[in-house]
Structure 1
Amino acid sequence: MFERERDRERAAARAGGKGKNGDDGLTPEQRRERDGKALQEKQAKKAAQAAGASSGGGAAAGKGPAKK
C-alpha cells in the first residue's frame, strides 16, 4: 500500500501541474469566451500571413528562382 502512494506522489511531482484538465478557476462560459478569442486571433494571424504571402508577386520571396 505504501509503495503505491509513494508512486502516485512521484508521478504527480513529475507532472508538475501540467495537463489539459487542470483547474484554471474559470467557469465553462468564461473558458469558452477565452478559447474563442484565442481562436479568432489565431485565424486572423493566419489570414494575415496568407495575404502577405500572396502579395509577393510571382515566386515566393527569398525562395530562389521560380521553377517552370
Structure 2
Amino acid sequence: MIDDFRQRTSERGNQRDRDRERAQARAGSKTKQPRNDGLTPEQRRERDAKALQEKTARKAAMAAGGINAGGGGKIK
C-alpha cells in the first residue's frame, strides 16, 4: 500500500519535471521583440493619450445619446 503511494507520487513528480522542462523550452524559443512602430516613448505616450481621449469622447457621446453616436436606440 505504501509502495503504491510512493510510486504514484514519484510518477507525478516526474510529470511535473517534464512539464516544467517543456514550458521552459517553449518560453525560451519565444523572444520578446522590441516595439517596431518607430516612435519614441514620448511620441507613443502622446499617441496613446490621444486615442484614449477619443475613446472617452465616443463613450460620452453614446451615453448622451448623440445623433452620430451609433447608440442604436429604439424609436417609440
TM-score, normalising length: structure 1: 0.47
Q: Bigger radius of gyration, 1 or 2? A: 2
TM-score, normalising length: structure 2: 0.43
Higher helix proportion (structure 1 or 2): 2
